[in-house]
Amino acid sequence: MEVKMFEVSGSNIRNQCYLIYQQRKGILVDPAWDYHLINDFLLDNRIMVKAVLLTHAHPDHIDLAADFARNKGIPAYMSAEEIDKSGFSCPNLVSVRHLDTFTLADFNITPILTPGHTSGSTCFLLGPHLFTGDTVFIEGVGICDHRHAALLFDSIQLLKAYLPGRTLIWPGHSFGDDPGQELRFLLKNNIYFQFEKKEEFIDFRMRKNRPNPFAFR
């Protein structure tokens, strides 16, 4: 099982989307901005993409979902909560539920509902690989309002309890550290994984006078 990371940009946003593949079968995660870059890799390596996984419905994560779902005739998966709250739709859209593991093209896929960045944000676990969208970055966590900060704390506690330390974390954006770090690296270096009390987490995440929303410390 291999992971190919695509660094793409559009609408002044730079992000990572992913292809996880084995035996010439693959699954795309949050494809956006550069259809030809992604599709050329599929064609050059004779990889048949079987599905799209969508962590949440923000434009930089769903930009190419409809194109790949339509052009390849494949399903796109998103949490039922995110579909309901965002109103997102695309061809062949399938809703998934928290921890309701399903098998597709020899991949066992476990959706983990991790609200906080959005109400229905979802991480997808495939083998040792966790695709986190904007819930968790290597360096920090996603943007949230005060109401959702409590949910984000709960989501991080869930990931800490549910996943082994060797789990590889693949976020939607990078702010200096390479994607694909083990969870144990985040436990040591990501300050948001070190809070044990919800109110302290909320106060720190929502503190004022940060130079930008991605000043994590």
Higher-confidence position of 106 and 46: 46
Give the DSSP letter of residue 178: P
What H or E segment, with its residue span, contains residue 53? strand 48-53
**Is the model's pLDDT at 217 over the cut of 70?**
no
User: Residues 13-33: what's their mean pLDDT?
Assistant: 95
Model pLDDT, residue 127 = 97
pLDDT tens digit string along 124-161? 999 999 999 999 999 999 998 888 999 999 999 999 99
Domain boundaries defined on the chain: 2-205
CATH architecture of the domain with residue range 2-205: 4-Layer Sandwich (3.60)
CA distance from start to end of the chain: 34
Alpha helices (runs of H) in 136-217, residue ranges in sequence order: 146-162, 183-189, 198-205
Query: Could you tell me the CA-to-CA distances from 120 to 28, 67, 112 in Å, in that order?
Result: 19, 22, 10
Instruction: Identify residue 134 by its one-letter amino acid code.
Output: D
User: Collapsing DSSP states into helix, strand and coil, what is residue 93?
Assistant: strand
DSSP β-ladder status, 107-113 and 102-104? antiparallel
Q: What residues does 3 pair with on adjacent strands?
A: 20
- The pTM of this model reads 0.94
Side-by-side strand order, sheet with 2-10: 2-10, 13-22, 25-29, 48-53, 76-79, 93-96
